[in-house]
Amino acid sequence: MRTQLLVGQVILLALVCLAIGTVTELALRHYLVNQLDEELREVSHRSTMMAASPAVPEPPRHSRRQQAGPGPEFLDAAGQPAGLIAAVVPNDGQVAAGSLDSHGARHSLSDDEVAQLAAVIPSPAPTTVPIGDRGQYRVIATTTPKDDVVVTGLPLADINNTMWTALLIMTVVALGALLAAATLGAAITRRALAPLHRVAATAREVVELPLDRGEVILPVRVPEANADPNTEIGQMGSALNRMLDHIGTALATRQASESRARQFVADASHELRTPLAAIRGYTELSRRRRADVPDEVAHAMGRVQSESDRMTHLVEDLLLLARLDSGRPLEREKVDLSNLAVDAVSDAHVAGPDHSWNLDLPDEPVVVVGDAARLHQVLANLLGNARVHTPPGSTVTVELTSTADRAALRVTDDGPGIDPALQSEVFTRFARGDTSRSRKAGSTGLGLSIVDAVVKAHGGTIALRSRPGATEFTVSIPVDASA
C-alpha cells in the first residue's frame, strides 16, 4: 500500500508537471511569436513605405549606415533588425532579395530562397515559411501603390532557442520536484501508515499463539492511540480489538468445556477401573469351573471376559490421554529405538502372520531420551493400524534413520491408502477410517490420537502421506535430551 500510494503521488505530480510545462511552453511560444509578429508588422510597414518612396532620408548620426549590396535598398536602413530577410517582387522586372546579418552586412539569397519568398501571398497576417537551410521565418507580404509586392521576414531561431531553454529548465525543475516529492512522500506515507503496521503486528502476534489447544489468553491488543474510531485505521484497530475480545471469550468458553469434559473422562475412567477389575475377576473364576456350567453359559462368560478386556484397554487409553492432556511428565530415560523397533516388529509378526513385515535399521543404535513404554506403544499402535487396515499379503516396512539432532521412524504399507478427505482427521480422537479400509477387529478410534499425543509429549512431530498403494507415517523425535 505504501508503495502504491507513493507511486500514485509521484505519477500524479508528474502529470501535473507535464500539464503545467505544456501549457507554459504553448503560452510562452504564443507570446513570443506575437511579439515577433508585432515587430514584423512594423518592419513591413517601414519597408513598404521605403519601397514606395525610393528617396531614403539620411539616417541619424548614430544609426547604421547603408551599404551597397544585394537586396532592396531598405534592407539595411535605419531601425531594421538583424536577421531580416526581404524581397521586392515588381510587376515586371527582376526580384530584388537579400538578408541582413547581425553585423548589418547584406547578403544575397539563393534562387530557391528567392522563389520561396516570391511565392508568399500578400496578407495582413504573418505566416511561417521555411526558407532554404536558414530555418523557419515569420513572413508577411504587402503591396505598394505601384502593385509591387514587398515581402519581409524575421527568423524564429531565437524563439526556438528560448523554447528549448525553457523546456530544459522546466524539465530539471520537474525532476527535482519529483525527487523531493518521492522522498518526502515516502516519509509522510511511512508515518501515516505506521498505525496500520502496529495493527498488523498485533494480528501477527495473535497468529503465533497456540489457539488450537490448551488454555489460551489473548494478552495482545491494538493500542488505544491506534483504535480511534474517528480515523480509518483507528476503525480497523477498534474492530480488531472487538474481534479479539470475542475470540478470547469463545476460547475461554471452549477451554472450560474441554476441561470439564476431560475431567469427566478422567474421573469416569478411573471409576470404571474398579468394576471392570471385579468383572474380569469373576469371569476368570467362572471359567475355571467351565465343566460345571452349560456350554451356553460358558460361552457367554467368555464373551463377557473378552468385552471386559476390550473395555479395560479403552479405559486405559482414556486415562493415558487424560494424563497427557493434564501435562503430567513422562519418564525420561535413554531409549534404544533400534531394539524397540525389533521388539515391536516381532510382536506384529506374531499378531499378523498373513502380512509381510520388513525392518530397515541403521548400522549404529539410535538412542533418544524419553519414555520407553510410551514409545513402544507408539510403534505398536502404528503397526497394529497397518495390520488391521490392510488386506492379507500386504507388506509393512519399518525404517529407522537418524541425524545429528533428530531420529525418524517410518511405518509404510502398500495397502489401499486413506481417503484424502479423512487424512486431516486421522489423529483426532475416536476418528475411524472409511469402509475402504476394512476393520476386522473392534477399534476405539484412539490409537492414532494416542500416538500423536505421546509424540508431542516427547517434543516430536508425526506426519502422514497416503495414496493408493502407499501409506506412510513418519515420527520425528529430538535426540537432544534437553528437548
**Is residue 274 domain-shared with residue 365, that is, in the same domain?**
no
Output the pLDDT for position 437: 44
Output the pLDDT for position 54: 58
Of 139, 162, 185, at which residue does a domain stop?
Answer: 162
* Closest to 338 measured CA to CA, from 369, 360, 370, 371: 360
Q: Is residue 77 part of a domain?
A: yes
Output the pLDDT for position 241: 77
**Is residue 131 domain-shared with residue 153, that is, in the same domain?**
yes
**Is residue 397 domain-shared with residue 321, that is, in the same domain?**
no
Q: Is residue 483 part of a domain?
A: no
Residues shown for the chain? 483
Q: Which of 286-295, 327-336, 344-353 has the highest mean pLDDT?
A: 344-353
* Closest to 227 measured CA to CA, from 209, 241, 217, 215: 241
Q: Is residue 177 left, alpha or beta, with left meaning phi > 0 and alpha meaning psi from -120 to 50?
A: alpha
**Is residue 408 domain-shared with residue 302, that is, in the same domain?**
no
Q: Is residue 217 part of a domain?
A: no
Q: Which helix (H) or strand (E) holds 207?
A: helix 157-207
Based on the number of CB atoms within 10 Å of its own CB, is 129 exposed (0-12), middle (13-18) or buried (19 or more)? middle
> For the chain, how many structural domains are there in total?
3
**Is residue 126 domain-shared with residue 246, that is, in the same domain?**
no
Q: Which helix (H) or strand (E) holds 347?
A: helix 337-351
pTM tops 0.75, yes or no: no
CATH number (domain holding residue 307): 1.10.287.130
**Is residue 300 domain-shared with residue 420, that is, in the same domain?**
no
* Closest to 2 measured CA to CA, from 179, 195, 226, 178: 195
DSSP assignment letter at 73: G
Sorting pLDDT into bands at 50, 70 and 90, what band is 162?
very high
CA–CA gap between residue 280 and residue 308 (Å, rounded):
6
Task: Please tell me the number of Cα atoms within 13 Å of 35 on its side-chain side.
Answer: 8
**Is residue 313 domain-shared with residue 372, that is, in the same domain?**
no
CA distances from 361 to 318, 371, 401, 474 (A): 32, 20, 7, 15
For the stretch 375-389, pLDDT in tens is 998 999 899 889 988
**Is residue 97 domain-shared with residue 128, that is, in the same domain?**
yes
Q: Which helix (H) or strand (E) holds 10?
A: helix 2-52
Q: Is residue 167 part of a domain?
A: no
Output the pLDDT for position 422: 83
**Is residue 124 domain-shared with residue 240, that is, in the same domain?**
no
Of 162, 191, 206, at which residue does a domain stop?
Answer: 162
CATH number (domain holding residue 459): 3.30.565.10
Q: Is residue 246 part of a domain?
A: yes
Q: Is residue 137 part of a domain?
A: yes
Neighbours of 446 (CB within 10 A): 20
Output the pLDDT for position 211: 66
For the stretch 165-206, pLDDT in tens is 999 999 999 999 999 988 888 888 777 777 777 777 777 777
* Closest to 450 measured CA to CA, from 330, 277, 270: 330
What average pLDDT does the structure give for the chain? 82
Give the residue numbers spanning the domain of 247.
233-325
**Is residue 462 domain-shared with residue 443, that is, in the same domain?**
yes
CA–CA gap between residue 33 and residue 27 (Å, rounded):
10
CB 445 within 8 A of CB 389: no
Output the pLDDT for position 411: 94
Q: Is residue 92 part of a domain?
A: yes
**Is residue 263 domain-shared with residue 346, that is, in the same domain?**
no
**Is residue 469 domain-shared with residue 357, that is, in the same domain?**
yes
Of 325, 351, 385, at which residue does a domain stop?
Answer: 325
Q: Is residue 464 part of a domain?
A: yes
